[in-house]
Structure 1
Amino acid sequence: MTLWTMLAVMAAAALFCRMAGYAAMRFLPPSNRLDAALRATPLAVMAGITAQALAAGGLTEAVALASAIGLTVLTRNDVGAAVGGVGVAALLRWLGV
C-alpha cells in the first residue's frame, strides 16, 4: 500500500468519524453514553494511526510515541504533544537512530 493510499484512507476515516458524530448529535437523544462515545472517537482514531506506525517502525517511533504521551500528560495539550512527538522523530532520524 502506498503512502498516498494510506493517507487517503486515514483522511476518509477521520472525516467519516466526524460526520457520524454530527449525525449522532442530530438524530439521537442526548445521553451520557453518546457524549462518552463522541469524546472517545478522536482518541480511537489517533490510537489506530499510532499503532500502525509503531507496528511498522522501530526504536525511533517508540521513543517519539513515548515522548508524545509524556508531553500530553505534562502539558494537557494534544496538538502540541503530537507536534513534539513528530519533532522527536525528526530529530532521531536526523541523528541516524
Structure 2
Amino acid sequence: MTIDPATFAAILAMAFVTIMTRLSGLVIHRFATIGDRQKRILEAIPPAVLMAVIAPTAFATGLAETIACGLTALAALRLPMLASLTIGVVAVALLRGGGL
C-alpha cells in the first residue's frame, strides 16, 4: 500500500485545523461571557449541521432514507444529537427491512 503525499498532507492539515478549532474554543471560553441569546444560537448549530449533512442523502436515495431524514429532523428539534441520530438510524433500518 502506498500513501499519496498530497492526500497525507491534506489529512494532516485537516486534523490540525480541527484540533486548533477545538482548542481555540476552550481559550475563548475563558475570556468571553456568553449570554442567553448566544447560548441559544450555539445550541442550534449541531442540528443545523446534522441537517446539512444528511439532507442530500435524503433526496438522492430511496423512500426509507427520506422518511428517516424527516424523523431525524423532527427529533433534532427537541432531543439531544445522539438521540436524534439513533432515531434516524433505527428508522432507516426498520424501513429498509420493511421493503421500502
Query: What TM bracket, shorter-length normalisation?
Result: 0.5 to 0.7
Which amino acid is 1:60 matched to?
A
- Structure 2-normalised TM-score? 0.55
> What residue in structure 1 maps to residue 42 of structure 2?
38
Query: Is the aligned partner of 1:94 residue 2:92?
Result: no
> What residue in structure 2 maps to residue 57 of structure 1?
61
- C-alpha RMSD of the superposition: 3.1
- Structure 1-normalised TM-score? 0.56
Misfit runs of 4+, over 4 Å: 70-73
Maintained 8 Å contact 1:72/1:81:
yes
Question: 2: distance between equivalents of 1:25 and 1:71?
Answer: 29
Question: 2: distance between equivalents of 1:36 and 1:71?
Answer: 17
Ranges in structure 2 where 5+ consecutive residues have no aligned partner: 1-10
Maintained 8 Å contact 2:58/2:65:
yes
Percent of residue pairs identical: 29
Which protein is bigger by CA-based radius of gyration? 2
When structure 1 is superposed on structure 2, of 83-92 and 29-38 the one drifting more is 29-38
Query: Is the aligned partner of 1:81 residue 2:91?
Result: no
> What residue in structure 1 maps to residue 71 of structure 2?
67
1:63/1:22 CA distance change after superposition, 3 Å:
same
The total of aligned residue pairs comes to: 82
Shift in Å, 1:33:
5.0
1:22/1:57 CA distance change after superposition, 3 Å:
farther
Maintained 8 Å contact 2:72/2:85:
yes
Maintained 8 Å contact 2:47/2:76:
no
Which amino acid is 1:77 matched to?
L
Maintained 8 Å contact 2:51/2:73:
no
